[in-house]
Amino acid sequence: MSLQISDAVIWQETAGGISLYHTESGDFHSLNETASRIWTLVADKGEREAIVSELSQQFSGGSVAVSVRIVKDVQAFLGTMIEQGLIEERPALS
Amino acid sequence: MTRALVLGGGLAGVLAAAVLARHAGEVLLVEGDHYPPGPLPRRGLPQSRHSHVLVSGGARALDELLPGTVAELLARGAQRRGLPGDALVLAAQGWFRRLDTGACLLSCGRGLLDQVVRQRALPGVTVLTGTRALGLAGDRRRVTGAVVETAGGGTRTITAALVVDATGRRSKAPGWLRAIGAPAVEEVTVSSGLAYSTRHYRAPDGLAEGMPAVMLHPRPAPGRPGQGATLFPVEDGRWIVTLTGTRGGEPPVDEGGFTAFARALRDPLVADLMAAATPLGGVRPYRDTANRRRFFERAALPGGFLAIGDAVCALNPVHSHGMSVAALGALRLAAELARHGADPDAFPAVQSAVAAQAETSWRLALAQDRPRDDGAREASAFQREILARRSRALLSSPELAAGFFRAQALLPPPAQDGAAVARALTGEPEPLLTTEEAVAQHPALHAWCATHARAGGEPIRR
């Protein structure tokens, strides 16, 4: 599946993390360091599997348990973002 | 036979009486004042010489309650103006471009509106003018009528199964309820300290038709009062000009001061138009602009009692929602009576529904009039940037303007197009209009200004 930041979102990377504005809800969000990293990966890579894989490799230190935890947390974060309309998920183009 | 008694014969009371007449066997309406014989201001309605508009949501509600009312008002000279398509609006950031948002306002003298509504609403209602409500009859479980002072000065009790308080902003119903053993009604007052002064004018030749509404909003400046103006065309080629000022910057009541105040505003357009028009009468002040909410729905009210209109939610008139909220509340009353019938035991539930109808306007008013919370978290640089871009883009973005003006007009929001809004916020904003460019968007006013200047008179624009 392909992930894409919603066209209705304006975002900016700052020293403190990423700030978002959702033009439809009028809500502002601030992402912490970890969430900001996931967000930039969505912007750069756009593929759920690639994002999860990169973060897992980067932070699990080879531990399967940590890797499982990372996968779970990233999926949960992406699910929340999709639910709030900040990120959209579409079938990948073949 | 169920008798319903409405206390107060302003717009909310008259509409409530019309609605009740469809369900109750007999409807009485008592009003302390006497109605004028024609479309004239009413002595007992202190704000009746000031600007009154119905926004789209209110006009629709009124027409649903009393079909044909809006058409008759227009036929008798009321003016409909699109927002901001038929209006010159100077917001904090600059002039709005002409955009069709579907939002409108209907502007006419209060006397005309009241007369047209009364003629349509009150057949089938027994009206007792010169009769003032003094209190309620009954106990904490059930209201059984009201005590009134009759035109002759005596008092009597009118029995009724249903009693509706529509006595407006200065309603004494909370005290009346306490007097029969009912619980206290929670009340909240929020004041911006705004005051306004109004004067009527005869439009100059050539501008009686096609004149846009004009609204000059204050430019926010910390520590300084906000001052602004509106000019609404109404029937008979007249304009109603209102000058507004917050605490410390209230508009004067004397004619010279009124003119000078308009001239000192951030744009001289309204002052120029006033100078070209003919004053009709003096300047009239209005100061009672606090937003006041009485939460009748939160109290365990006796059966058979209902409050409606300004008695429930009185809004700062500068937000132009008072009459529209009255119409929407009456429309909600009609829906609730259709559902429950004229059942006194259902009135507490009806009260909740009627109060809910005012919620949007209450929130909009408080968003502007409530003192800023010093304890609130300071906006981030990103938030400030977005809000600044939004204020600027609002002037020319059809999507943003539709969202803004439709909310102001109590209409459902437009279809969401977040991507278009994002483009408007991130793209290069449209250049700000000069006053000359803003005026040039309105052919009648533009032509009149050009003619006026060519005729060798004092230039209307500078």
pLDDT in tens, B412-455: 999 888 999 999 999 998 999 999 999 999 999 999 888 876 55
B277, B214 Cβ separation under 8 angstroms = no
**How many residues does the structure list for chain A?**
94
Specify the pLDDT at position B458.
53
- Phi and psi dihedrals of B157, rounded to 5? -105, 125
Q: Does domain A2-90 have CATH number 3.90.930.60?
A: yes
Looking at chain B, the whole-number percentage of residues with pLDDT higher than 70 is 97
How many CB pairs below 8 Å do chains A and B form together? 42
* Sheet architecture: strand order including B155-159: B132-138, B143-149, B155-159
Specify the pLDDT at position A56.
87
Identify the burial level of B213 via C-beta atoms within 10 angstroms of its C-beta, where 0-12 means exposed, 13-18 middle and 19 or more buried. buried
Q: Coil, strand or helix: which one is B381? A: helix
Specify the pLDDT at position A93.
61
Cα distance between residue B48 and residue B113, in whole Å: 10
| Strongest mean pLDDT among B61-65, B251-255, B415-419 | B61-65
Closest CA to B83 of B70, B107, B99: B99
| A interface test, pick of B363, B377, B382 with most A CB neighbours within 10 Å | B382
pLDDT in tens, A57-87: 888 888 888 889 989 999 999 999 999 999 9
The residue-averaged pLDDT of B53-58 equals 96
Identify the burial level of B449 via C-beta atoms within 10 angstroms of its C-beta, where 0-12 means exposed, 13-18 middle and 19 or more buried. buried
Can you give the residue ranges of every domain in chain A? 2-90
Instruction: Identify the band that residue B456 occupies on the pLDDT scale cut at 50, 70 and 90.
Output: very low
User: What is the phi-psi region of residue B220: left when phi exceeds 0, alpha when psi lies from -120 to 50, beta otherwise?
Assistant: beta
pLDDT in tens, B370-415: 876 656 678 889 999 999 999 999 999 999 999 999 999 999 999 8
User: What is the phi-psi region of residue A68: left when phi exceeds 0, alpha when psi lies from -120 to 50, beta otherwise?
Assistant: alpha
Instruction: Identify the band that residue B88 occupies on the pLDDT scale cut at 50, 70 and 90.
Output: very high
Question: Do the interacting molecules here have an ipTM over 0.90?
Answer: no
* Sheet architecture: strand order including B278-286: B87-90, B213-216, B227-234, B238-245, B195-202, B278-286
Cα distance between residue B417 and residue B425, in whole Å: 13
Instruction: Identify the band that residue B154 occupies on the pLDDT scale cut at 50, 70 and 90.
Output: very high
Do B382 and A7 make contact, defined as CB atoms within 8 angstroms?
A: no
- Name the residue with higher pLDDT: A47 or B187: B187
Specify the pLDDT at position B453.
62
Q: Record the pTM.
A: 0.90
A26 touches chain B (CB under 8 A): no
A28 touches chain B (CB under 8 A): yes
Q: Where are the beta strands (DSSP E) in B181-323?
A: 186-190, 195-202, 213-216, 227-234, 238-245, 278-286, 291-295, 305-307, 313-314
Q: How far is CA B48 from the centre of its chain?
A: 12
Which residues 6+ apart lie within 8 Å of B365 measured at CB?
A: B190, B291, B315, B316, B319, B321
Domains and CATH numbers, chain B: 3-48+111-189+291-365 (3.50.50.60), 195-288+434-454 (3.30.9)
pLDDT in tens, B256-287: 999 999 999 999 999 999 999 999 999 999 88
- Name the residue with higher pLDDT: A53 or B279: B279
* Residues from chain B contacting residue A9 (CB–CB below 8 Å): 418, 422
A15 touches chain B (CB under 8 A): no
A22, A8 Cβ separation under 8 angstroms = yes
In Å, the largest CA–CA distance within chain B is: 74
* Residues from chain B contacting residue A8 (CB–CB below 8 Å): 416, 418-419, 421-422
Element (H, E) at B113: helix B110-121
Instruction: Identify the band that residue B462 occupies on the pLDDT scale cut at 50, 70 and 90.
Output: very low
Instruction: Identify the band that residue A94 occupies on the pLDDT scale cut at 50, 70 and 90.
Output: low
Helices (H) and strands (E) in chain A, counts: 3, 5
Specify the pLDDT at position B450.
85
